[in-house]
Amino acid sequence: MFEISESPDGRWQLVADSSGVLHLLDLMFPDEPPWPLTVPGVPGPWARDSSGFSLLTPSGPSFFSLLHGSVPKLSDPSDTIGAC
């Protein structure tokens, strides 16, 4: 796996495998397997509060939200993409 970026608070790490598939690691639980992102796209900057990162998908810009206590999800592009 190759590191792409780390969240500002240091908890999350975005990595890519040799096929280019993005995965998300929760560095608070390093023994847990990474979450593969099911949405293809090019990652952009993290939100300053580490709540997620922008993602340029084939359908346009989106925000990948990291809701604490739940599985990360892709938000509606109009939600918070401007917060990054």
Average pLDDT, the chain: 79
Residue 76 pLDDT exceeds 50: no
User: Nearest 5°: phi and psi at 17?
Assistant: -90, 180
Domain residue ranges in the chain: 2-83
Strand order through the sheet with 12-16:
2-6, 12-16, 22-26, 35-36
Mean pLDDT of 35-45: 84
Confidence (pLDDT) at 68 = 52
Quickly state the pLDDT bin for 81 (edges 50, 70, 90). Answer: very low
Contact 10, 25 (CB under 8 A): no
